[in-house]
Structure 1
Amino acid sequence: MGYAPKDFMGQKRDMGDLLKRLNFATEAELLSAIGYGEYSAKVIANRLTERVRREKADADKKAKEDAILANNQKVTTMSKEKKPVSRTEEGVVIEGVDNLLVHLAKCCSPVPGDPIIGYVTKGRGVTIHRADCPNVDSSPAMAGRLIDVRWQNLNDQSQLFDTELEIYGYNRNGLLNEVLQTLNSQTKNLTNVNGRVDHDKMADIHVTVGIPNLGALEHMMDSIKNIPDIYEVKRAQG
């Protein structure tokens, strides 16, 4: 019926911490402040349960990570058992789990059409990498946290995915303008442009663009390659 000793001590510690934060000497003073309307009971209850709710959230994350890794062992089998599926805002499908926190890796910026792999991070859900990302290796430590993932819809044009391009060429007059015109003709989402020119007049241009899928990206890259004096166009990869 009662709280375990450690729970009781934890609650006493939480109350003591709250009294210090709100500058009350005793619990009676805090209760009086609630009675006079200085603080609402809901606000005090929320603050008193911050530690418990945080510990529960951490435990839920840990349980979900364990479930991901455990279920992943079954994903590649021929079992006909219906498994939960996580469909994320990023357009990625992960079988075996649901309600999953997923984000796309910034180091390789995968887009629909890229072969991808999921990496179970500690406390952050699953990070989606391109399968050829140098930050994903076959070491035993990493391999134990890799899971199978796939794109939900390769032909969806409604969602744009940021990706970085590195463009190299001879820095003649008008080169940058032609590059930007080509990019603007194929995307409405050009969010970043950086460039430098070395002592040999070679231009190094980095851009961030939004594209719907790999096909659109490859078409964009081919268009840039057709600009005179452009020598190389490639995806940035950190």
Structure 2
Amino acid sequence: DKEMLLQRQLDKAKRILTTNHETGLIVEGLTTPQIKIANCCLPIPGDAIVGYVTKGSGIAVHHENCPNVKSLTEMRFVDVYWASNITRKYPTRIQIIGQNRDNILSDIITSINATSITIAEINAISNARLESTITLKILASNKSEIENVMVNLMKIPSVYHIERRFK
């Protein structure tokens, strides 16, 4: 039993770890993996992630809390990891809710522009209760950048809720 366990551990240690430089992700055992980041949850470095072998499209990488992961076949999951030397930016979504007032959108944009995060898309709507919901697609290098910008956005007067957004 101990020998089998030791052999399994040795086999696992010998597996090839290949980094896909385009995505900054590592997949165990594959030399040239076709990897794409799932558009439903847009995980970024620092997020806990899972890989899913799709039919015909390679491996889709999801945030582990993505609502779509719950409906996927467990047998098709593979281990994926973020590489440590990532230099690119990744898209992700955040949603900001606040009391509708003049210049709230301007204050949000100014706050984000003071960081290294790039705004890729903005969608802002107001409801009958004079509440604004602003959804941003932003480009960031890692989870801590997102967390820092969210802390700063909460300091904006009349902003009272911010969260990462999964479709």
Partners of 1:232 and 1:122 in 2: how far apart? 38
- Counterpart of 1:135 in 2: which secondary structure? helix
The equivalent of 2:111 in structure 1 is: 182
Partners of 1:235 and 1:188 in 2: how far apart? 14
Is 2:17 the partner of 1:85?
Answer: yes
- Counterpart of 2:62 in 1: which secondary structure? strand
> Could you tell me which amino acid in structure 1 is paired with residue 122 of structure 2?
V
Partners of 1:198 and 1:83 in 2: how far apart? 54
Partners of 1:148 and 1:191 in 2: how far apart? 29
Larger gyration radius, structure 1 or structure 2: 1
Partners of 2:117 and 2:154 in 1: how far apart? 20
Compute the TM-score of the two structures, normalised by the length of structure 1. Answer: 0.63
The equivalent of 1:208 in structure 2 is: 137
8 Å contact kept, 1:187–1:209: no
Greater helix content = 1
8 Å contact kept, 2:117–2:145: no
The equivalent of 1:136 in structure 2 is: 69
CA RMSD of aligned residues (A): 1.5
Is 2:62 the partner of 1:118?
Answer: no
Partner residue of 1:219 out of 148, 156, 159: 148
Unaligned runs of 5+ in 1: 1-76
Deviation at 1:78, TM superposition (A): 1.1
Deviation at 1:82, TM superposition (A): 2.2
Aligned residues between the structures: 158
Deviation at 1:225, TM superposition (A): 0.9
Unaligned runs of 5+ in 2: 1-7
Compute the TM-score of the two structures, normalised by the length of structure 2. Answer: 0.89
> Could you tell me which amino acid in structure 2 is paired with residue 151 of structure 1?
W
Deviation at 1:132, TM superposition (A): 1.0
Partners of 2:30 and 2:74 in 1: how far apart? 19
8 Å contact kept, 2:41–2:166: yes
Query: Higher relative contact order by CA 8 Å / sep ≥ 6: 1 or 2?
Result: 2
